[in-house]
Amino acid sequence: EAVVHWYKRDLRLHDNRALSLASAKAKEKGVPLICTFIVSPQDYQAHYTSPARVDFELRTLAIIKEDLAKLDIPLYVETREERRTIPDHIVGLCQKWGAKHLYCNIEYEVDELRREASMTRKCLDAGINFTAVHDDVVVAPGKLRTGTGNQYAVYSPWFRSWIAHIHSNPELLDPFDPPGQNPSSARQRFNDIFRMPIPAAPENKKLTDEERKRFEHLWPAGEHEASQRLEKFLGQKVAEYKDARNLPAANSTACISVHHSAGTLAARTSVRRARDLNGTKKLDAGNEGVKTWISEVAWRDFYKHVLAHWPYVCMHKPFKYEYANIEWEYNDEHFERWCKGQTGYPIVDAGMRQLLHSGWMHNRLRMITASFLAKDLLLDWRLGEAHFMTHLIDGDFASNNGGWGFSASTGVDPQPYFRVFNPLLQSEKFDPAGDYIRKWVPELSAVAGKAVHDPYGRGAAEEAERKGYPRVVVEHKGARERALARYKEGIGRE
């Protein structure tokens, strides 16, 4: 006999609900716990998962394997090409290991929910107790309702309700115990699994050697790293977060999204640690920086609630379905210039190049670059959504889709479509000294003063030209008018 924990995007030992339950069940039954993770190249392909992210997951699995081995718990990792075979395969593994109990944490995207539903049926047929639990979010989807009993589509009232719910159920922030020691006989019984190496990345998701070194350096993997990052951020930076979080040059955010997204850190742990630092049980009291940071972590929950309630957002459909009729431009050259950071708008280009280099982009820049694609270039936001996923190390469907919906005005946000970001004003406001631009757009590193925001318009044309920095791909003023007209027409169409 045995109990199995099926790892997905919950890549940690600590504060992991399903893993903790699995370990308790194994202890109760006096049988060993086995953990498994299935690498699915088709899943990676279908979800546009970036090679950097795949690499991060595999590096994390190697760490988990070691940590589990110290507890005599084996981690079985296998690559399965066809993702539709995964449920049967996991059932087969449980049967092979004589496991009567299978645990996992729920993922809320449509494909994943369907997979879990089919697992339920298959496990029932096979006589296996299948337990899938809420863990990825602090508050489970469906718990928060508007006065009329509906899912919130607006963040602020949802957030008040989220806070109130946690205040009434403070145990939601309590940590789950890490797994305990397996019976020592597990070593011998699963000797083969202990010796199995972590598989290499699938061919279509391989990094070059240079990239691997770069990402390893920028984003060390695993939960120990995640918890150090969290403590360092809370100890040194969170107090300034409210004022500095929008300034990309200040490097003032936690840079922890890859950990929330891969599950090397639970959102619950982050909120709990921030709350404890504040010295109050209230999430909306105490230090302004801490409060603001908690409210940002809550956005992650919000978008998962939206996705769970309106699953059509997983199917390439805009949340506001009347926005499906907007007629987008088809311009490969413009799209390519955006992807490569060659739009001639320094702030946009800096963001896009940060993404290509580091697999991460500051939130303000995600908003600026996304708005630029959907509004100034009037290109279908789904192209940008996919491009982000293919490069982000923290790629997360709900947050990415939510962020794109916000920026393209097609999502849950009540902000009207006619609020269009002006890239120059954004640049002057959020990168006032131009340091972020100079870091990521080396052609402009010698441009002094305000000209860095608009080299051709503000007297640095010669330098920009000499360094090969492009002129603007579209004029903002005209592009804005075009976008407003096209959005209006699209929404009005039957």
Contact between 404 and ligand FAD per CB under 6 A:
yes
Nearer to ligand FAD, 47 or 101 (CB): 47
Identify which range of 59-67, 141-149, 272-280, 298-306 contacts ligand FAD by CB under 6 A.
Answer: 298-306
Catalytic, 293? Answer no
Q: Which of 78, 177, 211, 296 binds ligand FAD (CB under 6 A)?
A: 296
299 counts as binding ligand FAD under rule CB under 6 A: yes
What end-to-end distance do the CA atoms of the chain give, in Å?
60
String marking each residue 222-261 x if it binds ligand FAD according to CB under 6 A: -----------------------x-------xxxxx--xx
CA distance 356 to 383: 16
DSSP 121-190: HHHHHHT-EEEEE--SSSS-TTS---TTSPPP-SHHHHHHHHHHHHHH-GGGGPPPPPP-PPPTHHHHHT
Which tokens belong to 342?
A: 């060659």
Cα separation, 340 vs 343, in Å, equals 8
Q: Tokens 């449920």 — which residue?
A: 87
* Catalytic (active site) residue 310: no
Per rule CB under 6 A, is residue 426 in the interface with ligand FAD?
A: no
Taking the complex as a whole, how short is the minimal distance between the CB of residue 306 and ligand FAD, in angstroms? 11
Long-range contact set of residues 96-100: C-beta below 8 Å, sequence gap at least 24: 97/2, 97/4, 97/34, 98/1, 98/2, 99/1, 99/2, 99/3, 99/4, 99/34, 99/128, 100/1, 100/3, 100/127, 100/128, 100/129
Buried b / exposed e over 259-279, threshold 16 CB at 10 Å, is: bbbbbbbbbbbbbbbbbebbe
Closer CB to ligand FAD, residue 5 or residue 362? 362
Q: Yes or no: say if 198 and 65 are a contact pair by the CB < 8 Å rule.
A: yes
Q: Which of 385, 404, 440, 443 is catalytic?
A: 404
User: Which residue, 96 or 217, is less far from ligand FAD as judged by CB?
Assistant: 217
Distance CA 261, CA 323 (A): 28
Residue type for position 24: A
Q: Specify the 3-state DSSP secondary structure of 464.
A: helix
| Alpha-carbon span 55 to 39, nearest angstrom | 11
Is 363 among the residues known to form the active site?
yes
Question: Which residue has its beta carbon closest to ligand FAD?
Answer: 403
Nearer to ligand FAD, 94 or 374 (CB): 374
Binding of ligand FAD by 56 (CB under 6 A): no
- Check 325, 328, 329, 463 and give the catalytic one: 328
**Per CB under 6 A, 392 contacts ligand FAD:** yes
The rounded distance, in Å, linking the Cα atoms of 122 and 102 is 12
Residue 269 interacts with ligand FAD (CB under 6 A)?
A: no
Tell me: does residue 403 bind ligand FAD (CB under 6 A). yes
Q: Which of 299, 338, 360, 440 is catalytic?
A: 299
Single out the residue of 96, 79, 106, 88 nearest to residue 196, CA to CA: 79
Q: Which of 297, 393, 444, 472 touches ligand FAD (CB under 6 A)?
A: 297
* Residue 381, CB-side half-sphere exposure with 13 Å CA sphere: 31
DSSP codes, 89-107? HHHHHHHHHTEEEEEEE--
The nearest distance, CB 370 to ligand FAD, in angstroms, is: 4
User: Can you tell me the distance from the alpha carbon of 372 to that of 475, in angstroms, rounded to the nearest whole number?
Assistant: 11
**Cβ within 8 Å of residue 415, ≥6 positions away:** 406, 409
Which region among 183-191, 207-215, 279-287, 401-409 touches ligand FAD (by CB under 6 A)?
401-409
Supply the minimum distance, in Å, between the C-beta of residue 404 and ligand FAD.
Answer: 5
Angle value at C-alpha 90, between 88 and 95, nearest 5 degrees: 95
Enumerate residues 442-481 that contact ligand FAD by CB under 6 A: none
Find the shortest distance in angstroms from Cβ 302 to ligand FAD. 7
Backbone angles phi, psi at 205, to 5 degrees: -125, 20
For the question of residue 360 being annotated catalytic, the response is no
Site for ligand FAD in 329-368 (CB under 6 A): 362-363, 366-367
| d(C-alpha 33, C-alpha 180), whole Å | 9
Minimal distance in Å, beta carbon 399 to ligand FAD? 4
- Annotated catalytic residue: which of 112, 211, 216, 296? 296
Part of the chain binding ligand FAD (CB under 6 A), chosen from 88-96, 118-126, 207-215, 297-305: 297-305
396 binds ligand FAD (CB under 6 A): yes
Nearer to ligand FAD, 323 or 406 (CB): 406
Q: Is 404 a catalytic residue?
A: yes
Selecting among 293, 381, 401, 440, the annotated active-site residue is: 381
Nearer to ligand FAD, 63 or 368 (CB): 368
Task: Give the binding range for ligand FAD (CB under 6 A) out of 59-67, 131-139, 394-402, 479-487.
Answer: 394-402
Q: Which of 246, 287, 325, 363 is catalytic?
A: 363
> Any catalytic annotation for residue 162?
no
Q: Please tell me whether residue 53 binds ligand FAD under the rule CB under 6 A.
A: no
Counting Cβ atoms within 10 Å, is residue 439 exposed (0-12), middle (13-18) or buried (19+)?
middle
Catalytically active residues are 296, 299, 328, 363, 381, 404
- Per CB under 6 A, residues contacting ligand FAD are 245, 253-257, 260-261, 296-297, 299-300, 303, 362-363, 366-367, 370, 388, 392, 394-396, 399-400, 402-404, 406-407
